[in-house]
Amino acid sequence: MNDILRAVADVGFPIVITVYLLMVFGKKLDRLSDAVEKLSRYVEGLNKQFPPGL
């Protein structure tokens, strides 16, 4: 808690909030990227099973 208060005093509230949000959204973006990659592999597998035009 002291680290957070010291950070607010040193760099200001908006910067501390921005860093926090970037950390939170960064983790969510990583999870979203993983989900998109899995979906892409799944669709590729479907295309191999059922080629377009059949």
Q: Give the pLDDT band (50/70/90) at residue 16.
A: confident
Q: What is the CA radius of gyration of the chain?
A: 21
Are the beta carbons of 16 and 7 closer than 8 angstroms?
Answer: yes
Q: Is residue 25 part of a domain?
A: yes
12 domain residue, yes or no: yes
Task: Please tell me the predicted confidence (pLDDT) of residue 10.
Answer: 80
- Report if residue 24 sits inside a domain: yes
**Domain-embedded: residue 54:** no
| pTM exceeding the 0.85 threshold for the entire prediction | no
At 54 the pLDDT is: 59
Q: Considering only CA atoms, which of 16, 14, 19 is closest in space to residue 6?
A: 16
For 19-48, write each residue's pLDDT tens digit: 889 888 988 999 999 999 999 999 999 888
Residue 32: inside a domain: yes
Range of the domain at 43: 2-49
Number of domains within the chain:
1
Q: Is residue 35 part of a domain?
A: yes
